[in-house]
């Protein structure tokens, strides 16, 4: 019996030496960068964060990065190479933000490439959104001094990133004959608008609420009555790819790699925004009822 046990021990030992005990925790894939950024028609300089994928958790924040970034304008074939800059962020971490010196053109498509020295690339593209038709309805009064106005944009299927109203006024400062009081609509409730169907997006301008804000922005007293020349709306709209799953930017969901990414050969997101604007003039009657002065009258 002891021989049997001895043989068993030897067999077990032989078996053991033939067993692999190393483990590779990484899936080997040809993805090397994450990119985060967007093209903005409102600026001549574009910004793109490039994060090299690491195999160590500790981010050493290396000053060098083996990456070159290019954007190619499909319509013209022009290629812009972006400049690297090393940024120290508020949390002490260091990252690479590339700067592209060009202003994108609405409706055009830009191909982004992040290229390593050995030629492997992470790629993405974006088409700059173009302004759609807009319909500004007549103001509606629901009380003596409570007025709102519906502005409906066509071919918009998602909530804009930003909605600004400007009220062009005069008579508040001798040094600035004309001033724009810019009211930024908060990202709460339906202030940024809501869909109507048929890819129409409607924003309700609250003339009454904005009126109080205008005097505040102008630094005028509450009973001041500046002359109102016109009203304008600026909508900052993202490109068609910039739509989160379920229509919600839920960080806990979108952090999952691949749930919201248009980068091939990498992770992250590359998009674009454009500003759509429309201006209109309120009727003298509405202007006065809202507590403004009508230009040309006293």
Partner 1 sequence: MPIFRISHAWVLVGLFLFTTAHAQAQTTTIRGFVNDAADGQPIPGVNVTLVAADGALFGSATNTDGFYAVSRVPVGTYTFRVTFIGYETIEDTVTLEADVIVTRNVDLAVANTELDEVVVEVERETAGAANVTAGLQTVRPADIALVPSPDISADLVNYLTALPGIVSQGDRGGQLFIRGGEPTQNLVLLDGMILFQPFHVVGFFSAFPSDIINTADVYAGGYGSEFGGRLSSVMDITTRTGNKRRFVGAASVAPFVSTLRLEGPLVPGKVSFLASIRESVIEQGAEQIINEPLPFSFGDLFGKIHATLGPSAQLSITGISTDDTGRLGVNPLNEDSDGITQDEVNYSNTAVGGRLFFLPSSLPLFAEITGSFSKFDNEFGSVGKPDRTTSVEMTSFAADITYFVGTTDVNWGLFLTSSTLEADLGGLFQNVDKSSESLTEVGAYIEPEFSFGSGLRVQPGLRLQSFPSLGESFVEPRLRIVWNTGMHRFSLAGGVYHQQVTGLNDRRDAGDIFTAWTAAPKGVVPTAQHAILGYRIAPVDGLAFSAEGFYKNLTDLLVPEWTAFPRFTTNLEEADGTAQGFDLRAEVGNGRVFQGSVSYAWSEVEYESTSRGLQILTGEDAIDYSPPHDRTHQLNAMGALTVKDFHLNVRWQFGSGLPFNESLGFDRFILLDSLVNVLEEPGDERVLFNRPYTGRLPTYHRIDVSLDREVRIGPTSFLTLQAGLINAYDRRNLFFLDLFTLRRVDQLPVIPTFGLKLEVK
Q: Which of 7, 86, 87, 140 binds partner 1 (CB under 8 A)?
A: 87
CA dihedral sign of residues 92, 93, 96, 98:
negative
Q: Residue 35 phi/psi, 5° resolution?
A: -125, 145
Binding region for partner 1 (CB under 8 A) out of 68-76, 90-98, 126-134, 214-222: 90-98
| Contact assessment for residue 281 and residue 215, using Cβ atoms and an 8 Å cutoff | no
Binding region for partner 1 (CB under 8 A) out of 85-93, 163-171, 213-221, 290-298: 85-93
For partner 1, the closer of residues 90 and 297 by Cβ is: 90
The span from the CA of 51 to the CA of 96, in Å, is 7
The span from the CA of 195 to the CA of 173, in Å, is 40
Mark 184-203 with x for binding to partner 1 (rule: CB under 8 A) and - for no binding: ---x----------------
Q: Which two tokens stand for residue 180?
A: 């724009």
The span from the CA of 103 to the CA of 101, in Å, is 7
With binding defined as CB under 8 A, does residue 223 bind partner 1?
Answer: no
For partner 1, the closer of residues 31 and 150 by Cβ is: 31
Run of H or E residues at 66: none
- The least distance separating partner 1 from the CB of residue 259, rounded to whole angstroms, comes to 4
Which of 135, 134, 133, 136 has the alpha carbon at shortest distance from 286?
136
The span from the CA of 266 to the CA of 29, in Å, is 10
Contacts of 135 (CB under 8 A, 6+ apart): 151, 152, 154
| Contact assessment for residue 178 and residue 168, using Cβ atoms and an 8 Å cutoff | yes
For partner 1, the closer of residues 85 and 133 by Cβ is: 85
Binding region for partner 1 (CB under 8 A) out of 41-49, 113-121, 142-150, 164-172: 41-49
The span from the CA of 129 to the CA of 126, in Å, is 9
Applying the rule CB under 8 A, the residues between 226 and 265 that interact with partner 1 are 236, 242, 244-246, 249-260
- The least distance separating partner 1 from the CB of residue 103, rounded to whole angstroms, comes to 16
For partner 1, the closer of residues 91 and 118 by Cβ is: 91
- The least distance separating partner 1 from the CB of residue 218, rounded to whole angstroms, comes to 25
- The least distance separating partner 1 from the CB of residue 276, rounded to whole angstroms, comes to 14
Q: Which of 58, 77, 175, 298 binds partner 1 (CB under 8 A)?
A: 58
The span from the CA of 165 to the CA of 233, in Å, is 5
Q: Which residues bind partner 1 (CB under 8 A)?
A: 1-2, 5, 8-9, 12-13, 15-17, 19-23, 25-27, 29, 31, 34, 36-38, 40, 47-49, 51-59, 87, 89-91, 93, 95, 97, 161-162, 187, 236, 242, 244-246, 249-260, 267-269, 271, 273
């Amino acid at each position: 019996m002891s021989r049997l046990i001895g043989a068993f021990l030897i067999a077990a030992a032989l078996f053991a030496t033939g067993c692999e005990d190393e483990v590779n925790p990484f899936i080997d894939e040809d993805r090397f960068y994450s990119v985060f950024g967007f093209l903005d028609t409102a600026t001549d300089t574009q910004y793109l964060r490039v994060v090299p994928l690491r195999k160590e958790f500790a981010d050493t924040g290396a000053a060098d990065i083996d990456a070159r970034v290019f954007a190619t304008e499909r319509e013209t074939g022009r290629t812009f190479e972006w400049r690297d800059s090393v940024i120290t962020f508020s949390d002490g971490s260091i990252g690479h933000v590339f700067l592209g010196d060009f202003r994108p053109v609405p409706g055009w498509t830009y191909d982004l490439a992040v290229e390593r020295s050995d030629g492997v690339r992470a790629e993405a593209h974006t088409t700059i959104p173009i302004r759609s038709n807009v319909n500004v309805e007549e103001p509606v009064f629901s009380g003596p001094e409570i007025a709102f106005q519906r502005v409906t944009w066509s071919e918009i299927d998602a909530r804009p990133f930003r909605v600004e109203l400007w009220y062009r006024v005069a008579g508040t400062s001798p040094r600035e004959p004309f001033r724009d009081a810019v009211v930024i609509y908060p990202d709460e409730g339906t202030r940024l608008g809501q869909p109507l169907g048929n890819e129409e997006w409607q924003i309700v301008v609250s003339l009454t609420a904005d009126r109080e804000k205008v005097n505040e922005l102008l630094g005028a007293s509450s009973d001041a009555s500046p002359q109102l020349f016109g009203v304008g709306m600026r909508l900052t709209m993202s490109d068609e790819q910039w739509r989160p799953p379920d229509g919600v930017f839920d960080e806990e969901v979108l952090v999952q790699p691949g749930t919201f990414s248009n980068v091939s050969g990498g992770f992250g997101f590359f998009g674009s925004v454009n500003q759509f604007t429309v201006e209109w003039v309120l009727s003298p009657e509405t202007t006065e009822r809202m507590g403004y002065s009508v230009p040309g009258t006293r």
